[in-house]
Structure 1
Amino acid sequence: MDERELLERSGGPVTRTRLRDDLAALGLRPGDTVMFHTRMSAIGYVAGGAGTVIDALLDAVGPAGTLMVTCGWNDAPPYGFRTWPRPWQDAVRAEHPAYEPESSEAEHDNGRLPEALRRRPGALRSRHPDVSCAALGPAAAELTADHPWDDPHGPGSPLARLVARRGRVLLLGAPLYTLTLLHHAEALADAPGKRYVTYEQPVLAEGRRVWRHFRDIDSTDGAFDYAPVVPEGQDPFETITRALLAAGLGRSGRVGAAESHLFEAEQVVTFAREWIERKIGGGRGIGGNSGAE
């Protein structure tokens, strides 16, 4: 989409002031701890680009508020490299650089904002190479410290700490399936057939590059087989997020030209965990037959 199309979509330039006011109208408040997902093109023409969006978010939450994003690692070795011919594996093991929270690029598929936020002075990033999070603000250290090596979406993770802080999640023009916090609900859910993956990545340990094994829910192909309980062709996270909105658990509005949604993190996890346990587990676990759809 070219500049002219973006300008027409947003009815002129989307400025820092316009973004700040739209975010406040959506419900973002000073002092909030908020994890955000953004699709820049949906907002329209943003004067100043990604930096302006971050500035506006900081304006909205104020000096007492904290921003968080999911980063990952763009240059991580492929999960399947262990199936490569042995000489190729050996070459990767010998020379692939280690993940470094301060310098390793955020996953490009997550958009421009994660990389822009993690580069901000004062931003901190968690130690887990595959699902690292970055945060900026007074709660950044609390959110990112000691990210568990295994089960990195579960207890003790940045996602769990966001919930404990009564944080919020903002989809700023981002598709409904990008609600990463749902992985925390999957990690906690008591339902049969939960799927896990193991993989290896290089990290730094006391200044030395070492290869470490990791175990996590399958956050790529799905922690559960959702096929029997979601519409054909629809992403399971989109299905759950639509159900959240239908239940009135979220605020919706326009930020620039983007349809955006603001959720309470605790409500997201409670609802999604119940939904999974009821749909996948037939009513097992905390949710039972709660009637949530």
Structure 2
Amino acid sequence: MDERVLMERSQGPVTHSRLVRELTALGLRPGDTLMFHTALSALGYVPGGPLTVISALREVLGEEGTLLVYSGWNDAPPYDFTDWPAPWQEAVRAEHPAYDPELSEGTHDNGRLPEALRRLPGARRTRHPDSFVALGARAKALTDAVPWDDPYGAGGPLGRLVATGGRVLLLGAPLDTLTVLHHAEALAQAPGKRHLTYEVPVLDAEGNRVWQRYWDIDTEDEAFDYGQVVPEGVWPFTVIAREALAAGIGLRGRVGAAECHLFEAPELVRFGVEWIERNITAA
């Protein structure tokens, strides 16, 4: 998009100092452990792009703060490759590169900010290929030794974010990007929960390429059959988030040209678990 159009949308450049002021006004605090999702173009024209946004977030959070993003792995083998003809499977098993936390590119689905954060000095990434990246005082605690199975459960980065009283920021990103609600799905006790088993090449402790099987809730399609309780074509996280906001959970504000939301992760996950258990059980 043309920079002049973006600048008119945001009524001038969304500079580092402006971001610091407006993020502070939204409610961010020094020492926060913050998972964030960003739609950069929604902010308007940001001189310097992703690195300017990350720099402003780090300034607001200070030395004791921590940033967390979902990274994933852009070049992971397809989940269903085990259904392919045997020769195709064998070729993939023989030569597909292993996930490397240091080098493997994150998914392109979540914009430019996660990759920019991953490349910064001091950033830490999970050895689990459904990966998260953190930078700051609690980065190691959030990303080290994530279990192969149930990575969205209590032992994964999202569970640790909630356990430490972390927060979630949607910086111009839509409500359906609330990845933390996958943790609510992992915790919820409701009928019909869907799980998948995947096989992925990874590096073992000695740096050797090995195939690892892991088990998880179904985040590719949906962990539950939401069709009877959510309007067709609407992602369930959007509905849960709207109802949470209506219940007084979360803050709203503007940063640059973007509508933004700030949630307390434990409060939002608790609401999500209750919503899933109530609605899915009743469906």
Q: Please give the range of the TM-score, normalised by the shorter of the 2 chains.
A: over 0.9
Q: Determine the structure 1 residue equivalent to 2:180.
A: 181
Alignment partner, residue 153 of structure 1: 152
In the alignment, the residues of structure 1 paired with residue 6 and residue 148 of structure 2 have an alpha-carbon distance, to the nearest angstrom, of 41
1:281 shift after superposition: 1.5
Alignment of 1:238-249 (within 5 A): 238-249=238-249
Offset, 1:17: 0.6
Q: What value does the CA root-mean-square deviation take over the aligned residues?
A: 1.0
Normalising by structure 1, we get a TM-score of 0.95
Tell me the CA shift for residue 245 of structure 1: 0.7
User: C-alpha displacement at 1:2, in angstroms?
Assistant: 2.1
Q: Which amino acid aligns with 1:132?
A: S
**Residues 170-209 of structure 1 aligned to structure 2 (within 5 Å):** 170-205=169-204, 206-209=206-209
Q: 2:101: which partner in 1?
A: 101
Which amino acid in 2 is paired with 1:151? D
Partner of 1:162: 161
Partner deviation per Cα, 1:115-174 (whole Å, 9 max, x = no partner):
100111001011110x21100001000000111101110011000100111000000000
Q: 1:136 aligns to what SS in structure 2?
A: strand
Identify unmatched segments of 5+ residues in structure 2: none
1:244, 1:104 → 2: CA distance? 35
Match of 1:218 in 2: 218
Cα distance in 2 for residues equivalent to 1:245 and 1:125: 31
Question: Percent of pairs identical after alignment?
Answer: 67
Structure 1 equivalent of residue 66 of structure 2: 66
Q: Which amino acid aligns with 1:136?
A: L
Give the gaps of 5 or more residues in structure 1.
284-293
Quick one: which amino acid aligns to residue 57 of structure 1? Answer: L
Aligned equivalent of 1:277: 277
Structure 2 CA distance, aligned partners of 1:97 and 1:2?
A: 38
Partner of 1:87: 87
2:258 is aligned with 1:262: no
TM norm structure 2 = 0.98
Deviation at 1:30, TM superposition (A): 0.4
Report the counterpart of residue 233 of structure 1 in structure 2: 233
Q: In the aligned structure 2, how far is the partner of 1:152 from the partner of 1:255? A: 32
SS at match of 2:30: coil
Q: Which deviates the most, 253-262 or 77-86?
A: 77-86
1:26-81 CA distances to partner (integer Å, 9 max, x unpaired)? Answer: 00000100000000010111000000000000011011100000000011111121
Aligned partners of 2:274 and 2:208: how far apart in 1?
A: 43
Structure 2 counterparts to residues 28-47 of structure 1, below 5 A = 28-47=28-47
Deviation at 1:189, TM superposition (A): 0.2
- 1:73-95 CA distances to partner (integer Å, 9 max, x unpaired)? 01111112112222211111111
Aligned AA (1:258):
A
- Which secondary structure state, in structure 1, belongs to the residue aligned with residue 254 of structure 2? strand
